Amino acid sequence: MSDTTSKLTDSRLANLGARAIHDAFQQYRMAFTAVTRRAKPRFETCDWPGARSDAAERLSLYRQHIDQIVADIKELLAERIDQKLVWASMKAVFSGLITFHDDWEIAETFYNSVTRRIFTTVGVNPQIEFVSTDFETPPTQATHSAYRVYGMSGETMSLVQQILADYQFKADFADLPRDLLMIAKEINQKLKAIGALRIVERIEMVESVFFRGMAAYLVGKLYSGSHQVPFVLALLNTDEGILVDKVLMDEDSVSILFSFARSYFHVQVERPYDLVQFLKNIMPRKRTAELYISIGYNKHGKTELYRNLLQHLNATDDKFEIARGQKGMVMTVFTMPNYDMVFKIIKDQFAKPKKVTRKQVKEKYELVFKHDRAGRLVDAQSFEHLQFERSRFSDSLLEELCAKAPGTVQVEGDHVIVHHTYVQRRVIPLDLYVKEAHDEAAVTAILDYGQTMKDLAATNIFPGDMLLKNFGVTRHGRVVFYDYDELCLLTDCKFRKIPAAMSYEDELSDMPW
């Protein structure tokens, strides 16, 4: 610390620290926005390598900016770095700085990331971090709507044509009349199926395009009488031009599009809160956390997920218990009966014949975070230094955690400290599903298990361990993979034919013959 800084009062130092974090957040948001804006020209020019590069770059931005500001704050505060009164003042100043921000909730999470990196706080401390938001939600009035409204003034085809024209793609449609006819037909069939009026009264469309991979999505909802229907157009850009590949008009299909097993969208938005509320209206069963994660604000999605967990614990008497399914060699997995997430703890030592290390397991989860998940790899959020009441753990679970992961889980008085865990959506393990489901559903799941292998291979992923217990079935009936300790890039694998066994004993051996 310089002599000038060392002479500053605590309040002045807190002011400087808060402004430094605020400036770092602004720089992060500018970088995030710049990368996101590139998605549209990438799609228009079919620059798929560039799109993949952008996806990887954007995922790395948060950590880069947090690393830099943490170093700056440590230098600024020096010997006062751990004085919580200074940090409480910093939080108050920071809250004032973001009062009129349209992305205030993202800013609060950014601040939390700085404090937790510096303090490695066990549990949470509302004095120095935003455990809940400081504001009435939302604190600001939107100056611009997140969506456009289209009223019916003629035929459905002309309405859809106006919608497509307003997105102003700098690439031609391959056969626009064909697409318009197909979309109008899909709309009419949907309205007939649900017993709605024959006419569309209005359509609301998110102003920004949702980009992911080689596709673009126009997201909205349409109204006919008392009916509200999701309305999503999936676009592809081919050698012939842009075409409408699919029309999604039911909640389940749109929910799968925004699935926790898919990579994050690139969508330009000034007020993430407004967009999430719009999406929540289309997909009411989706958590707010999942929607933030799906549009690229995974760190704030993690914040919302933690808040949701606290709400569940406060509202129920649920106890943590060992999750259904076969116990893993690498992880202990637990959940709550009425909570649809699981908590995965890496064991201190792995059962044989596992040869991976703890570091390698974490690297596999990092690979999944950065890779195209193809709708088949379950998103995992990493949490550190969580604190729970001991009474919320079943005896069998606590005994297992203390025996298998004493380096990660400790009991301190009336509390259980979890120093690291991955949190994922709970699914039904595939081996249990095929035993418990009706035959037709079980067959469908096994066929989708095969399709999962193809989808992962198409994105250069090999699951490694292909046992059914490592796969699960979502509430939509889709098969996903969630056990990553042996996952690897397909191009890193060498596949050989297994020679015929010389004897029955050879077939049972764990050694090559």
Say yes or no: 289 and 325 in one domain: no
Q: State the residue range of the domain holding 476.
A: 316-492
Paired residues of 342 in beta bridges: 335, 424
DSSP helix/strand/coil, 341? strand
Q: How far is CA 165 from the centre of its chain?
A: 31
- Domain stops at, among 119, 138, 161: 119
Kindly report, residue by residue over 395-423, the tens digit of the pLDDT.
999 999 999 999 999 999 999 999 999 99
Say yes or no: 242 and 363 in one domain: no
* Residue 135 neighbours by CB distance under 10 Å: 16
Scored b (16 or more CB within 10 A) or e, 271-310 reads bbbbbbebbeebbeebbbbbbbbbbbbbbbbbbbbbbbbe
Say yes or no: 366 and 473 in one domain: yes
Instruction: For residues 219 and 257, give the distance between their C-alpha atoms in angstroms, rounded to a whole number.
Output: 11
Kindly report, residue by residue over 276-310, the tens digit of the pLDDT.
999 999 999 999 999 999 999 999 999 999 999 99
- Residue 487 domain-assigned? yes
- Domain stops at, among 119, 134, 160: 119
Q: Please give, one letter per residue, the 3-state secondary structure of 431-450.
A: HHHHHHCCHHHHHHHHHHHH
Say yes or no: 105 and 151 in one domain: no
DSSP3 helix / strand / coil % (the chain, rounded to 5): 45, 20, 35
Q: Residue 250 contacts by C-beta under 8 Å, 6 or more apart in sequence?
A: 190, 229, 230
Kindly report, residue by residue over 493-511, the tens digit of the pLDDT.
988 888 888 888 887 777 7
Active site residues: 379
Across 22-27, average pLDDT: 98
Return left, alpha or beta for 270; rule: phi > 0 is left, psi -120 to 50 is alpha, else beta.
alpha
Average pLDDT, the chain: 94
Instruction: For residues 330 and 453, give the distance between their C-alpha atoms in angstroms, rounded to a whole number.
Output: 22
- Residue 132 domain-assigned? no
Instruction: For residues 320 and 390, give the distance between their C-alpha atoms in angstroms, rounded to a whole number.
Output: 10
Whether residue 353 is predicted with pLDDT greater than 80 in this model: the reply is: yes
Say yes or no: 160 and 289 in one domain: yes
Say yes or no: 154 and 266 in one domain: yes
- Residue 305 domain-assigned? no
Say yes or no: 56 and 160 in one domain: no
Scored b (16 or more CB within 10 A) or e, 215-239 reads ebbbbbbbbbeeeebbbbbbbbbee
Say yes or no: 222 and 360 in one domain: no
**Position 430, amino acid:** L
Instruction: For residues 96 and 476, give the distance between their C-alpha atoms in angstroms, rounded to a whole number.
Output: 43
- Residue 156 domain-assigned? yes
Across 443-468, average pLDDT: 96
Whether residue 133 is predicted with pLDDT greater than 90 in this model: the reply is: no
Kindly report, residue by residue over 237-260, the tens digit of the pLDDT.
999 999 999 999 999 999 999 999
Whether residue 1 is predicted with pLDDT greater than 50 in this model: the reply is: no
- Residue 415 domain-assigned? yes
Say yes or no: 482 and 363 in one domain: yes
Say yes or no: 321 and 292 in one domain: no
Cβ atoms 58, 266 nearer than 8 A: yes
- Residue 135 domain-assigned? no
Q: What is the pTM of this model?
A: 0.92
Structure tokens at 304: 């919302």
Across 45-49, average pLDDT: 97
- Residue 372 domain-assigned? yes
Secondary structure element (H or E) that encloses residue 411, with its range:
strand 409-412
Say yes or no: 240 and 154 in one domain: yes
- Residue 227 domain-assigned? yes
**Position 225, amino acid:** G
Cβ atoms 461, 487 nearer than 8 A: yes
Kindly report, residue by residue over 372-396, the tens digit of the pLDDT.
998 999 999 999 999 999 999 999 9
How many domains in the chain?
A: 3
Instruction: For residues 181 and 295, give the distance between their C-alpha atoms in angstroms, rounded to a whole number.
Output: 30
Across 110-133, average pLDDT: 89
Instruction: For residues 259 and 371, give the distance between their C-alpha atoms in angstroms, rounded to a whole number.
Output: 15
pLDDT-based confidence at 492, cuts 50/70/90? very high
Q: For 204, phi and psi rounded to 5 degrees? A: -110, 125
Instruction: For residues 190 and 185, give the distance between their C-alpha atoms in angstroms, rounded to a whole number.
Output: 9
CATH number for 365: 1.10.510.10
Say yes or no: 473 and 340 in one domain: yes
Instruction: For residues 471 and 25, give the distance between their C-alpha atoms in angstroms, rounded to a whole number.
Output: 38
